[in-house]
Amino acid sequence: MTDEIRLIEVKEDILADNTLLAKELQEKLRREKTFLLNLMASPGAGKTSLVVQTIRKLKEKLAIAVMEADIDSMVDAEKVAKEGVTAIQIRTGGFCHMDATMVKTGLDAMDTQNLDLVILENVGNLVCPAEFETGAIKNAMILSVPEGDDKPLKYPLMFTVCQAMVINKIDYLTLSDFDIQKCKDHVLKLNPDIKIFEVSCRTGEGIDEWVQWLYDEVKSL
């Protein structure tokens, strides 16, 4: 009877369909000159804080909107909306990631043709979000000092799929054994082309370098 059982690789099919839609979405955004940044990190790493700092630096130069993704609540979207930009909350209903279909739903609620930059704050997770393409022009991730410098060894895919990494909460360095150089070495072995920024969203240190990189990327689209 065993040879009569049909095996269906659901995850493979889902990923293939998602990749196709993500490519179509990315092509549409490129035509519209709308830069979609997919920002990923663990819970508490400082995604919303970085988003807010970025908005404050760029909202006079770029038309910005933010898509907040969470399993529940609207806390982050409310924080972002206070900065004077469009904020849309996506409740994933238990899913630990955003995929292209979810992103398309959010973008359809925006006037993307009149936006320069859309920031997707993905669900807090270092595993699932890295597996699903979203249609983003670039992927970035945050690693905070309190999380430890060994995360590239534990979650290599996340560091491989990103074009930029922000090491946040560097103001905690004197209170931890986090080794920035060791962390960078691990990451660069996985992804030699990744851009690495050292910042503190609390003090503002390093934010200008991150913002300048993002601004240049948006303008080069």
Query: Confidence class of residue 8 from pLDDT cuts 50, 70 and 90?
Result: very low
**Token couple for 58:** 């760029």
Please compute the mean of the pLDDT values over residues 56-81 and round it to a whole number: 88
Whole-number pLDDT of residue 1: 44
Q: Which domains does the chain have, with CATH numbers?
A: 2-219 (3.40.50.300)
Mean pLDDT of the chain: 91
Q: Is the pLDDT of residue 137 over 50?
A: yes
The first and second tokens of residue 4, run together, are 């009569």
C-beta separation of 159 from 165 below 8 A: yes
Evaluate if residue 51 carries a pLDDT over 70.
Answer: yes
Instruction: Tell me the percentage of the chain whose pLDDT exceeds 70.
Output: 91
- Say if residue 206's pLDDT is above 80: yes
Interior CA angle at 52 toward 164 and 215, to 5°? 45
Q: Determine if the pTM surpasses 0.85.
A: yes
Kindly report, residue by residue over 139-183, the tens digit of the pLDDT: 999 999 999 999 999 999 999 999 999 999 999 999 999 999 999
Report the candidate in 193, 24, 214, 192 with the shortest Cα–Cα distance to residue 101: 24
pLDDT at residue 98, as a whole number:
85
